[in-house]
Chain A
Amino acid sequence: MRSQDSDALPISIRGVTKTYGAVHALDDVSLEVKSGEFITLLGPSGSGKTTLLMVIAGFTRPDCGSLKFGEREVIRTPPHLRDLGMTFQSYALFPHMSVAGNVAYPLKLRKLQKAEIAERVEKALETVQLGGYGDRRITQLSGGQKQRVALARSIVFEPRILLMDEPLSALDKKLRDQMQIELRHLHEKLGMTTVYVTHDQREALTMSDRIAVVNKGRIMQLASPRELYERPANRFVADFIGDSTFLPVERSGEQVSYGGMPLKFVQAPPDTPTLALMVRPERIVLSSEGPREGANNFAATAVEVVYQGDSYLLHARLDDGTLIALRGGVRGASLSALPNVGDKVTLTLAPEDTVLIDGSEA
């Protein structure tokens, strides 16, 4: 197996459109995936992310557009000649073949020598920590093991591109967290260009080099996890990734104010007709000493306090009636200082955490 990423191929998607009747499953989508990059297509169900993946794999024929692996145009190439690895949400492990049979299948199709097949199968199984499992039947495996076999099968023939369709969705949370890290390590080790589809934003943030947020057949934003979280391009992205409350703000010249109160901010707001203040629960702070100098202060009334073990969640109502969420730490004395329901509280937001985004819906 390869460990340098020089073999990986970039993917270039240009102007791909796919309609089903009047519905645009994909609406003029363009996306450049760099060689060796781990990119995630993130979106709600029905957003078009899986359709895009199926276009790349060759199982869905778009109405128009271009798809290149490296320099090669493949939009009209049938799936079996595209030479890319893929894992399916259902794993799609062949139940009538053993574990080794499944992993060996792509190598048999490529007419490799028996000895080499055996060697590479065992190596691929070791890579996914299933060394010695070759003789097992598929039905004898647990969900996590099936996932690993599917992965081994998709990488054993050293494809230069790997597609993964919600590979972890069927696993329980603990296993999922563990597999996320493993997949990430595997990607670092093998270095193939990877397109990953998920609807789980945390998974996307954990694993990706870049994330393309997809909605209604379009890419809403393509950015690194951090940029996506910190500087969402619009309310959809901000809402979909992480929790947030949006507060209406007015702009007059350079000045942006909320409820008459001028806001202090660091990042320049986008040049859009309307703006909104995005407040993340973990960025806004409960101030025990009242309004804080050099920050944006909001007066509110505590509505509900929820203890969640590793943190607490405070719901408070601002004076204009907006319900806002605040997540706080439980370290030290902070728990004993929690307000009671009905208490007047002051919430503060540092200028660095004051993010102004495009206020329009959609």
Chain B
Amino acid sequence: MKHKMTFTLVSALFATTAMAHADDLTVASWGGSYQEAQSKALFEPAAKAMGIDVKQETYGGMSDVKLQVSTGQVTLDIVASGSGSAARAGAEGMLEELDYDVIDVSNFGPTLYSKYCVGGDVFSTTYAWNTDTYGENGPQSWADFWDVEKFPGKRAYRNKVAGALEPALMADGVAPEDVYKVLDSEEGIERALNKIRELRPNIDVFWSSGAQQAQLMKDGEVDMTTGWNGRFDNAKKDGAKVAYSYNQALLDYDCFAIPKGAPNKDLAMKFLAEISKPEYQDDLPKYITYGPTNNLAFETGVIDAATAAGLPSSPENAAKQLPISLEWYAKWETVASEMYQEMMTE
């Protein structure tokens, strides 16, 4: 707690001093290979094209934004966020409404932008397996992931509720299109948790980060895990024996938002419009296997057919997947989190 606070205060301090001489934009994201990809494909070229200076930072998520907004000391102009937490932050009044007259989303998938957050990349929460253990033809559904007789071996699963309940229901035989209907009650959530309880003896690790998914697979610590497709591809590049499938995966997106009272709100809006253009978005897959949110990015010729076929947002892949429901997360995430925690601590 204290650590976290210090971190926030220190970063706020840095931001303040930075603001003193950089009059342009401050953008915060999650750091690591993810922010590197964003930086190379989106932030740097867009800043160059607009002739502005963009200062990049890493931040601790919407709790940092909340602190800034509640104390009136907003230093961040743009933050990268998970779609769910952005939806909740927006509902709590922590974000500026986005002006879609400025940002052109006419070629975005209809679920990839919202009132407060415009999609930046599309990714999948899916299952990956060790190809040494199961070969290339590993599990092809969540039911297979749960089937420890057909696929004996140790599993890793998420330590948070986000993206953790939907697979359990699909494994329990719920059709993808009915998943959020079933989850729309505490009983439904409990049903999903019970399914996870069933698998629990075979879950060796509850992972907490994308880096950890890659490490678990690379080190052979577990035979199967849930996780984000881009991380698995990067682990594979590093020599990990890992494969994954899009079948029944959860289609999700990261987005960009503007904190309420951002110092350069108007410029931030223009910057979001710029990086939403296909000519930037089509570069993203070069650095990480996350797909563009703007469909026109597939038509610029930068993304070749083979790459496109591997992206989560390619029409063929997207069709196999269940899109994450932001409405459900806005309504149920806190309750479901507490219930999930109870399952974890049993």
Tell me, yes or no, whether A and B come into direct contact in the complex with CB atoms closer than 8 A: no
